[in-house]
Amino acid sequence: MTLTGWMQIVLFCAIVVALASPLGAYMTRVFKGERTFLSPLLVPVERVLYRAAGVDERREQHWLAYTFAMLLFNVAGFVFLYALLRVQGLLPLNPAGQGAVASDLSFNTAVSFVTNTNWQNYGGESTLSYLAQMLGLTPQNYLSAATGIALAVALIRGFARHSAQTVGNFWVDVTRCTLYVLIPICVPLALFLVWQGMPQTLAPYVEATTLEGARQTIALGPVASQVAIKMLGTNGGGFFNANAAHPFENPTALSNLVQMVAIFAIGAGLTSVFGRMVGDRRQGWAILAAMGVLFVAGVVVCYWAEAHGNDALNALGLAGGNMEGKETRFGIAASALFAVVTTAASCGAVNAMHDSFTALGGMIPLINMQLGEIIVGGVGAGLYGMMIFVVIAIFVAGLMVGRTPEYVGKKIEAKEVKMAMLAILVLPLMYLGWTAMAVVYPAAAASIANAGPHGFSEVLYAFTSQTANNGSAFAGLSGNTAFYNIAGAIAMLVGRFWMIVPAMAIAGSLAAKKSVPASAGTFPTTGGLFVGLLVGVVLIVGGLTFFPALALGPIAEHLSMSAGASF
């Protein structure tokens, strides 16, 4: 570990914390329908969209209607994207002549982008046309991100409102999020990425002659515009197969830093939105602090493991850290930081191959996802995932002091706790259930590249990533088979929507409750004690649930590596 590496990590954290409050203030104004500096330009556009869709922006929805609208919206997006992938060979803007995508792969890909997962069992430059990338994937990057943010705002309204029957209007929230938040940030971000050397063109692939005289095809395309929203919207799907490790998707150290900041920006800003909307900004800072503790702990372990390297090589005098699978233009520190950022934020973009990390270095991204992507998390999804843990933590605190648990003036009762536990228990069902099936089913086991605990980690990582709607790949697993395409799609759907519905039920229940004034017995939820309790609950739930699986994978591999064995 080096001073320069730590300085990179500290600089990243400082930028994210500095952005949280101003971005949160702006988003609060947007979702309250208040005037912003973009209103003169965008209000007329917004009203035209409402008239075209038959939406009354003043009419709000009950949580059931809000949830149904969200589900209907996502079904329509899935159908459109699936159909586009199946017929892309017949459509224009296809300079490489890509044919129709297979039915099982189209199913997996359509589900992946609708659920904000962006898991890819294909290479973008060798499978998809420019039209499929621009008309199919990029719009879903915007809309799936906007969906997550809208749901988080609806849950915030549940905590903030009193004796209310509505939690907002889904169509209005998605429209405002896209128009006022995502597009205005992505346009300058895309221009910045072009300046850094990222392609943005409809020109065909380029044929080049190498120094050895061989012919090489260099893939191009409208890359910058998709990368901007893939990072800001925590989508993570790569235009190229190598994702952010590809020089055309991540050309420089500066672009690497800016992309990491973009991944965390909205998720961190939403904690400020929460504090502002419930009337106590300290509440938002407490949530961000809990996220920050978990994040920093993960970065420290991952950076240490990668800087320490392989004990077997160290014993031979080949110390110097683990550079396998990493880009030299980023190095160990920035690669470890990126791995923790992308898996803490449900993004899935990678600038290094996690399959090549040390056992403990690769375990941290796995744990980040298994905890439910609540460490900043995907845009919106991270906040409502963390708020589910807040409900559990407040319930535990209530049991310890012997009184009804309260949070921001709302009593947390049996219904909220049951919904929170339902949302939490859905995730291990998919992580562990599909992994258990894959390692014993011969057709699935045949796709595993490595033996022993490392091969087990490849399968566990794949289903964890898909269920958590992350989308990053451990690599080493041949996932483009009927089994993995279908099983992965089911895991993504369950991981996304079986958590959303209980979260929305909590929002509706809380919105209908009266506000309870704080008393001498109210547990304070803005200080270090609450932050510690929340972090403890997250780690205890995760430890009890996932430690046995981790012991079979990365922990066993680390112990084997220390004994001189490798896989």
Mind listing the pLDDT tens digit for each residue in 165-211? 999 999 999 999 999 999 999 999 999 999 999 999 998 899 888 88
CA 147 to chain CA mean position, Å: 13
Instruction: Establish if 524 belongs to a structural domain.
Output: no
SS3 letters for 318-353? CCCCCCCCECCCCHHHHHHHHHHHHHHCCCCCCCEC
pLDDT at 140 over 80: yes
Residues 419 and 504: their CA atoms lie apart, in Å, by 9
pLDDT at 147: 96
- Give bridge partners of residue 368 from the DSSP assignment: none
CB 404, CB 503: distance < 8 Å: no
Question: How confident is residue 319, by pLDDT bands cut at 50, 70 and 90?
Answer: low
**3 Cβ contact list (under 8 Å, min separation 6):** none
Residues 272 and 162: their CA atoms lie apart, in Å, by 20
Instruction: Establish if 332 belongs to a structural domain.
Output: no
pLDDT at 432: 93
CB 251, CB 197: distance < 8 Å: yes
Dihedral Cα 139, 182, 70, 392, nearest 10 deg: 130
**341 Cβ contact list (under 8 Å, min separation 6):** 12, 260, 263, 264, 347
Determine the Cα angle at 379 with ends 374 and 380, to 5°: 70
Q: What crossing angle do the helices spanning 482-511 and 138-160 adopt, rounded to 10°?
A: 30
Residues 196 and 53: their CA atoms lie apart, in Å, by 39
pLDDT in tens, 496-514: 999 999 999 999 999 999 9
Instruction: Establish if 506 belongs to a structural domain.
Output: no
Residues 176 and 43: their CA atoms lie apart, in Å, by 9
- State percent of the chain over pLDDT 70: 98
Segment 388-410 mean pLDDT? 87
Task: Please name the helix (run of DSSP H) or strand (run of DSSP E) that holds residue 141, with its range, or none.
Answer: helix 138-160
pLDDT at 449: 86
Residues 476 and 492: their CA atoms lie apart, in Å, by 20
Q: Are strands 406-407 and 215-218 parallel, antiparallel or unpaired?
A: unpaired
Segment 327-356 mean pLDDT? 93
pLDDT at 320 over 80: no
pLDDT at 15: 97
Instruction: Establish if 177 belongs to a structural domain.
Output: yes
Which of 246-260, 316-330, 374-388 has the least mean pLDDT?
316-330
Segment 352-370 mean pLDDT? 93
Residues 7 and 13: their CA atoms lie apart, in Å, by 10
Instruction: Establish if 462 belongs to a structural domain.
Output: no
Instruction: Establish if 422 belongs to a structural domain.
Output: no
Task: Please name the helix (run of DSSP H) or strand (run of DSSP E) that holds residue 208, with its range, or none.
Answer: strand 206-209
> Which backbone phi and psi does 411 adopt, to 5 degrees?
-75, 130
The reported pTM is: 0.94
pLDDT at 1 over 90: no
Dihedral Cα 186, 188, 189, 192, nearest 10 deg: 160
Q: Is 177 exposed, middle or buried (0-12, 13-18, 19+ CB in 10 A)?
A: buried
CB 190, CB 422: distance < 8 Å: no
- Where residue 443 falls (left for φ over 0; alpha for ψ -120 to 50; beta otherwise) is alpha
The total of structural domains in the chain comes to 1
Q: How many CB atoms lie within 10 A of CB 75?
A: 11
Nearest one of 219, 260, 230 to 124, comparing CA atoms: 219
Instruction: Establish if 270 belongs to a structural domain.
Output: yes
Task: Please name the helix (run of DSSP H) or strand (run of DSSP E) that holds residue 217, with its range, or none.
Answer: strand 215-218
Dihedral Cα 556, 557, 561, 565, nearest 10 deg: 100
> Which backbone phi and psi does 520 adopt, to 5 degrees?
-65, -25
Q: How many CB atoms lie within 10 A of CB 478?
A: 13
pLDDT in tens, 328-340: 889 999 999 999 9
Across all residues in the chain, what is the average pLDDT?
A: 92
pLDDT at 379 over 80: yes
Segment 144-161 mean pLDDT? 95
Residues 78 and 36: their CA atoms lie apart, in Å, by 33
Residues 460 and 550: their CA atoms lie apart, in Å, by 9
Question: How confident is residue 318, by pLDDT bands cut at 50, 70 and 90?
Answer: low
pLDDT in tens, 18-77: 999 999 999 999 999 999 999 999 999 999 999 999 999 999 999 999 999 999 999 999
Segment 384-410 mean pLDDT? 88
Host domain of residue 106: 24-277
CA quadruple 220, 222, 224, 226: dihedral positive or negative?
negative
- Give bridge partners of residue 215 from the DSSP assignment: 209
Number of alpha carbons in the 13 Å side-chain half-sphere of residue 137: 33
Which of 264-268, 336-340, 384-388, 476-480 has the least mean pLDDT?
476-480
Question: How confident is residue 269, by pLDDT bands cut at 50, 70 and 90?
Answer: very high
